[in-house]
């Protein structure tokens, strides 16, 4: 599982000067599923406190990590097992590609992209208060369904929804707040991440600790 994947290798070349983050191994949620379902909610009140590397690792594993690494399968189901959704973690200090095989956050740009998500342009955009904006990017090449773009979009949207619900449940189980986001600026994010035309940001998800009461 520690082998560098081709996508990681290509990103590493362009991001050699930037600092990556090797995350610790994930730990598992202890809350029973019924309680997590009862607590699952959208919450837009965030503290600015950063998530620790351990909290990030736990969050990303719950989102779409390998739960059956021997057969390369994940916590979220995916249409035709294409595993075409990549997660980018956007923080004030820049944006990171999550290489799920090595559990490394590979820095891909130094810009703060959180403002391209949430209540975009509003002075009180909750996404700027929260430490993390996750962006879900579809890789149309990996999905390999260019002949029927409507199906590609349909399956990718559902795949994002499963990952998003995993994050909702993980946040409920670990006392974090989260908001799934249709409202993102895909073109601005794609440009900042230097994505090729075959990779498109579809949704986002804000994550952070609750604001102090
Ligand atoms: C596909 C989808 C897109 C959403 N987009 C946004 C969004 O752009 N901004 C936002 O503040 N909330 C967004 N939400 C969160 C919904 O507003 C929220 O789930 C809804 O109000 C129900 O609240 P609950 O999640 O607490 O049950 C989105 C939810 C879904 C499922």
User: Is 100 a residue whose pLDDT tops 70?
Assistant: yes
For 148, residues 6+ apart whose C-beta sits below 8 A from its C-beta are none
139 is in which domain, residue-wise?
6-208
Give the model's confidence band at 124: pLDDT under 50 very low, under 70 low, under 90 confident, else very high.
very high
What residues pair up with 206 in beta bridges, in sequence order? 133, 179
Give the start-end residues of each E strand in the chain: 21-22, 66-68, 73-74, 85-91, 94-99, 104-109, 132-139, 177-181, 199-208
- For 41, the token pair is 């909610």
Ligand 1 near 41 CB (within 6 A): yes
Question: Does 213 fall in a domain?
Answer: no
CA 34, distance to chain mean position in Å, is: 24
Give the model's confidence band at 184: pLDDT under 50 very low, under 70 low, under 90 confident, else very high.
very high
Question: Does 196 fall in a domain?
Answer: yes
CATH number, domain containing residue 163: 3.40.109.10
Ligand 1 near 180 CB (within 6 A): yes
- Atom 2 of ligand 1, residue of closest alpha carbon: 182
CB contact at 8 A, 134 and 58: no
Question: Does 118 fall in a domain?
Answer: yes
Q: Ligand 1, residues 36, 37, 40, 42: which to mutate, most atoms within 8 A of Cβ? A: 42
CB contact at 8 A, 193 and 112: no
- H/E segment holding residue 33: helix 33-39
Using only the alpha carbons of the chain, give its radius of gyration: 16
pTM equals: 0.91
User: Is 7 a residue whose pLDDT tops 70?
Assistant: no
Give the model's confidence band at 4: pLDDT under 50 very low, under 70 low, under 90 confident, else very high.
low
Query: What separation in Å is there between the alpha carbon of 187 and the centre of ligand 1?
Result: 21
Name the residue with tokens 């949430």: 118
- Atom 17 of ligand 1, residue of closest alpha carbon: 42
User: Is 148 a residue whose pLDDT tops 80?
Assistant: no
Query: What separation in Å is there between the alpha carbon of 72 and the centre of ligand 1?
Result: 30
For 83, residues 6+ apart whose C-beta sits below 8 A from its C-beta are 74, 142
48 in helix, strand or coil? coil
Q: How many domains does the chain have?
A: 1
In the chain, what is the straight-line distance between the N-terminal and C-terminal CA atoms, in Å?
Answer: 42
Question: Does 32 fall in a domain?
Answer: yes
Question: Does 1 fall in a domain?
Answer: no
């Amino acid at each position: 599982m520690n082998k560098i994947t081709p996508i990681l290798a290509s990103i590493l070349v362009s991001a050699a000067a930037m600092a990556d983050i090797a995350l610790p191994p994930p730990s598992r949620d202890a809350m029973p599923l019924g309680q997590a379902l009862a607590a699952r909610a959208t919450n837009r009140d965030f503290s600015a406190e950063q998530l620790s590397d351990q909290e990030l690792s736990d969050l990303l594993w719950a989102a779409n990590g390998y739960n059956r690494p021997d057969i390369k399968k994940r916590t979220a189901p995916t249409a035709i097992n294409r595993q075409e959704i990549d997660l980018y973690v956007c923080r004030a200090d820049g944006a990171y590609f999550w290489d799920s095989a090595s559990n490394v956050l590979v820095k891909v740009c130094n810009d703060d992209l959180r403002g391209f998500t949430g209540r975009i342009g509003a002075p009180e955009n909750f996404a700027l208060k929260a430490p993390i904006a996750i962006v879900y990017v579809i890789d149309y090449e990996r999905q390999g369904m260019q002949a029927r773009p409507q199906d590609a979009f349909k399956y990718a949207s559902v795949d994002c929804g499963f990952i998003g619900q995993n994050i909702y449940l993980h946040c409920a189980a670990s006392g974090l707040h989260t908001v799934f986001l249709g409202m993102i600026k895909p073109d601005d994010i794609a440009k900042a991440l230097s994505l090729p035309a075959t990779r498109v940001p579809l949704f986002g998800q804000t994550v952070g600790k609750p604001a102090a009461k």
